Amino acid sequence: VLLPQFDPGNTGYISTGKFRNLLESHSSKLDPHKREVLLALADSHADGQICYQDFVNLVSALGPSPLGGTCLGKALLEEKGLNLSQRLIRHVAYETLPREIDRKWYYDSYTCCPPPWFMITVTLLEARTRVAFFLYNGVSLGQFVLQVTHPRYLKNSLVYHPQLRAQAWRYLTYIFMHAGIEHLGLNVVLQLLVGVPLEMVHGATRIGLVYVAGVVAGSLAVSVADMTAPVVGSSGGVYAVVSAHLANIVMNWSGMKCQFKLLRMAVALICMSMEFGRAVWLRFHPSAYPPCPHPSFVAHLGGVAVGITLGVVVLRNYEQRLQDQSLWWIFVAMYTVFVLFAVFWNIFAYTLLDLKLPPPP
């Protein structure tokens, strides 16, 4: 029993000094990043004391205790009598995290403050903007399907168009326009079902980084590989987040304890394949308003590339500082090189290749 050893007076508290000495004496047996988390707990108590129950919760999450004695905890999945919100948090932990120590730490520390605002806000903005334009264009054009090829549809300040590639904001804002309600629907479903739980675990900063990096990589990839096509839809960001999650599951297959993980992966891959297949078909389908081409599908591939590089590192290192990860810096350097290459490509290649671009909207 640990209590007599660290709290001989039975006060319910442990001094931060004893706690720090304990961690330093067993530093070689602890994950260095988890040690930093524990030290941060000690430093956060200005009164010089740590609640014993907090200490027990943290030590029990370590499994067979590196601090000596018997493991105090049990698997999170075995805990009974949880209310609905606690079961939801436990479910999210098992869906996204491969190690029991991370699941326990997340479950004990998650407060839903802040909530997963990034993915929800982006989804609402995309849905609202797309539906508004869909209804407006449907009434004004007398056409409620496949509006994306109509010159007037492209004539707005959001869509990426090769003739307007100098307007840098279009490399981001194209996510608010979609090729149809079904296109929007698949993206929204994937963002909410995959993106929101991931943001609950990893936070808005990390998930937002992966999402925005996928969005930018998607439009830049189109400007390099499919130079005459416009781009609409949030698939670059969606595919970055989802592919990072799927790759993380595959890499940590034995540690992922979520139920039906194979079925969940299959459903996600089927949805992504359907959406990607539709985008490929649409790109090569004859346009109803030539020479205006259909949107490119290459943005999907740019998102996947970001997901299996930057995204995997971000999702793998739960509660660990990315700045300390050498692989993180390698992928950041690769992404930066690609962005710089694409920028120079957009400045010089279009003129040198003398491409015949579609007329400006």
By annotation, the residues acting in catalysis are 235, 300
Helix (H) or strand (E) holding 50: strand 49-51
Instruction: Find out whether 45 and 16 touch, Cβ atoms under 8 Å.
Output: yes
At 42, list the tokens: 């000690």
Q: CA 5 → CA 22, 43, 58, 66, distances in Å?
A: 11, 21, 17, 15
What is 259-311 written as a DSSP string? Answer: TTHHHHHHHHHHHHHHHHHHHHHHHHSPPSSTTSPPPPSHHHHHHHHHIIIII
Task: Catalogue the long-range contacts made by 149-158 (C-beta closer than 8 Å, 24 or more residues apart).
Answer: 149/287, 149/288, 149/289, 149/292, 149/293, 149/294, 150/288, 150/289, 150/292, 151/289, 151/292, 151/361, 152/361, 154/230, 154/292, 154/361, 155/361, 156/361, 158/129
CA distance 23 to 330: 31
- Measured in Å, how far apart are the chain's first and last C-alpha atoms? 74
Burial letters 286-316, b for 16+ CB under 10 A, else e: eeeeeebbbbbbbbbbbbbbbbbbbbbbbbb
Instruction: Find out whether 338 and 209 touch, Cβ atoms under 8 Å.
Output: no
The beta strands (E) that lie in 91-248 are given as: none
